[in-house]
Amino acid sequence: MILLAASLIFYAWGEPVYVIIMLFSICMNYWVGRWIAFASEYGKVILGLGVFLNLSLLFYFKYINFFLVNVRAIFPWDFPIPSGSLPLGISFFTFQAMTYLIDLERKKFSPQNNIFHLALYISLFPQLIAGPIVRYHHIEKQITNRSVTLEKFTEGVRRFIVGFSKKILIANTFGKVADEIFAMPAQELTTVLVIFAVIAYTFQIYFDFSAYSDMAIGLGRMFGFHFYENFNYPYISKSIREFWRRWHISFSSFLRDYLYIPLGGSKGGKAKTYRNLIIVFFLCGLWHGAGWTFIIWGLYFGFFLILERMFLGRLLAKSPSFLSWLYTITVVMISWLIFRAENLGQVFNMLDALFAGRYSPVYEKYSRDIFLQICLIFGIIGSTPFFKDKILESSNRYMQVGRDLFLSLVFIVSLSFLAAGTYNPFIYFRF
């Protein structure tokens, strides 16, 4: 009950009005879940209704504006577009609630009879705003029966500090560079600047989003929960297919289990597989934001996944590892350019500048920034399992002492950067 109250207060602090939406979602999913369990012969119909209600909520708050703007642009109708803000974490808690209903209908577990327990599952504060999307059956038992040990708590503290410092020291540092360059007028962009912007944003988005997951997993561990990993070093992938197995795992596995496989997956022949991939990645892009850049970003990945299924995958498997990695990281980095751009015009401007071969002395300010260079080194190493294998999970006792002293120091440094910095929210807060 204390955790539930803390979670709702936490949400209400950020969204004093929209907390009502959260409470509505909890009640609705609780009753729909009970209905599915008691009228199992109509389970699919009731599930359909539950999914419809959840998606309607999401559509109204996240997509109605985008939808109406496009309708007005296509048809000669003039009507006002409602304005409103997006409730924090709505994409995450809505999807989390849907996994509860779908898995319940699939009879993976019994319905939760205690509404407060279900409320805790949907609103649990560590991962409420930006994931990971936790499945009900993963933490069903932990809701009522979990233990907090010294070992788990220490692990949680370590994981939290790692996430906190990743966000404050690395993601924010790269974020400044990316923000500066993405805000520049098109005529001032040069090849080097666009490369800098893309590299900076590539690090920013990974260290920002994975930092939030680290902090969520760490906080969860401190309270006795065990959340699944959300990232597995995606930038070492050697194909786009592998990348999506390592990036935002809770979301990509959601798409696989609740969309791709129900659509038929890869079992209906090549054409159907490609169609399914396009649908899945179209919706993947749309989930990230109500904008054409996000949709194109999703379809861009769908396109490369189809290519890999057609022939590229076999070619990559035979290629030297470095070449496969280079292909993957290049595709991913260009995808982040599309993802970060404000609109399609900016995407074209930046791509144009990327291949224009223009020179600008501005890049010197980045190449001379020692702190940025330190972050780059940590960014590169932190994108590989090196830290985890050699330092964070080292079995050497002295290494463990050194690691914890280092983490304490990094925590102090991160707090000082937090104190000196301005408000800088996580990127995935807006999804």
Partner 1 sequence: MIAAINKYFLISFFLGLLFIIPVTGFITPDKEISKAENRALQPFPHLSDNNLKSFTKRFDLYLNDHFGFREIFIKIYLRIHDVVSPPMTLGFKAVTGKNNWLYYEDSVENYEGKTEEKKINRFIDELAVFRKSISPEIPVFIIIVPNKAFIYEENLPGYVQRSSQRFETVEKMKRIKDVFVLDLYDDLKQEKKPTYMRYDTHWNGWGAYIAYRNIISFINEKLGWRLQIKTDIKNIETIPDYKGDIANLSGKAEGLLSRNNKVVFRSPNARTTEKKYPVEKGRALSDYTNQKGQTTVFLIHDSFAEKRLGENGAETFYYIISYYLNIFWHYDAKDARQDFEKARQQIRDVEPDIIVIELVDRHIQ
Q: Is 158 in the site for partner 1 (CB under 8 A)?
A: yes
Q: Binding segment for partner 1 among 57-65, 230-238, 263-271, 418-426 (CB under 8 A)?
A: 418-426
Q: Judged by CB under 8 A, which of 275, 400, 424, 430 binds partner 1?
A: 400
Give the tokens for residue 230. Answer: 């959300």
Q: Judged by CB under 8 A, which of 411, 424, 429, 430 binds partner 1?
A: 411
Axis-axis angle for helices 90-105, 136-144 (nearest 10): 90
Q: Judged by CB under 8 A, which of 2, 73, 150, 271 binds partner 1?
A: 150
CB 194 within 8 A of CB 344: no
Distance CA 221, CA 211 (A): 15
Q: Judged by CB under 8 A, which of 185, 322, 368, 377 binds partner 1?
A: 368
Q: How far is CA 334 from CA 2, 31, 164, 194, 199, in A?
A: 45, 44, 27, 10, 10
H/E stretch holding 155: helix 150-165
Cis bond upstream, residue 425 (ω within 30): no
CA angle 384, 386, 388 (to 5 degrees): 100
- The strand ranges marked E within 254-374 are none
Q: Within 10 A of 429 (CB to CB), how many other CB atoms are there?
A: 15
Question: Catalytic annotation on 248?
Answer: no
Q: Judged by CB under 8 A, which of 153, 233, 258, 303 binds partner 1?
A: 153
Q: What is the DSSP string of 125-151?
A: HHHHTT-----HHHHHHHHHS----HH
One of 137, 226, 248, 288 is an active-site residue; which one?
288
Nearer to partner 1, 135 or 403 (CB): 403
Cβ 150 to partner 1, closest distance in Å? 6
Cβ 401 to partner 1, closest distance in Å? 5
Reference 383, options 165, 166, 168, 158; nearest CA is 166
Q: Is 417 in the site for partner 1 (CB under 8 A)?
A: yes
Cβ 158 to partner 1, closest distance in Å? 7
Q: Is 374 in the site for partner 1 (CB under 8 A)?
A: yes
H/E stretch holding 6: helix 2-14
Q: Is 45 in the site for partner 1 (CB under 8 A)?
A: no
Q: Is 211 in the site for partner 1 (CB under 8 A)?
A: no
Q: Judged by CB under 8 A, which of 110, 144, 330, 408 binds partner 1?
A: 408
For the chain, what's the residue count? 431
Site for partner 1 in 347-366 (CB under 8 A): 362, 365
Site for partner 1 in 4-23 (CB under 8 A): 13-17
How many residues touch partner 1 (CB under 8 A)?
40
Write out the residues near partner 1 by the rule CB under 8 A: 13-17, 150-151, 153-154, 157-158, 160-161, 176, 180, 362, 365, 368-372, 374, 397, 400-401, 404, 407-408, 411-413, 415-420, 422-423
Q: Which residues are catalytic?
A: 288
